[in-house]
């Protein structure tokens, strides 16, 4: 496992273990993303801005790892110093953008995850 993925997987695993202690079971697949969506929805208003910034990174690592496991895509360093998921044709998916949007009450994490599947399906028919 490359160093970038190892770091992000460790971050995601930390979230998985912490949420397991409160009864939220997460797997690295779409169902895990949906379960995390439900957890965020139920708790979002309890978190301070600092909590949300910290949690956004963990959510992004988890969503990205779900994309890696489900779609077989690699992580890649982003120009801004973060990490993105590399898609065919030089495109990228940005799990951190999706995580921040979810914490702000916008787009669900599952929509971010599903958009990658749709992009991959579209690239196969091009």
- Tell me the CATH architecture of domain 3-125: Up-down Bundle (1.20)
Supply the pLDDT for residue 11: 97
Token representation of residue 48: 């301070």
User: 105: alpha, beta or left, given left = phi > 0 and alpha = psi -120 to 50?
Assistant: left
Supply the pLDDT for residue 79: 87
pTM of the shown model: 0.94
Strand partners, 85: 75, 93
Whether 62 shows a pLDDT value over 80: the answer reads yes
* pLDDT tens digits for range 10-42: 999 999 999 999 999 999 999 999 999 999 999
How far apart are alpha carbons 9 and 81 in whole angstroms? 17
Calculate the average pLDDT of the chain.
94
Strand partners, 48: none
pLDDT band, very low/low/confident/very high, at 107 (cuts 50, 70, 90) = confident
């Amino acid at each position: 496992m490359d160093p970038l993925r190892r770091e992000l997987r460790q971050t995601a695993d930390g979230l998985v273990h912490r949420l397991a202690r409160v009864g939220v079971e997460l797997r690295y697949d779409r169902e895990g993303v949906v379960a995390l969506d439900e957890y965020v929805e139920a708790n979002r208003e309890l978190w301070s801005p600092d909590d949300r910034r910290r949690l956004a990174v963990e959510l992004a690592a988890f969503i990205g790892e779900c994309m890696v496991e489900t779609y077989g895509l690699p992580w890649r360093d982003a120009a801004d110093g973060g990490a993105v998921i590399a898609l065919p044709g030089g495109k990228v998916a940005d799990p951190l953008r999706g995580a921040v949007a979810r914490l702000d009450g916008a787009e669900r994490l599952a929509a971010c995850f599903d958009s990658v599947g749709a992009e991959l399906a579209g690239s196969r028919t091009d």
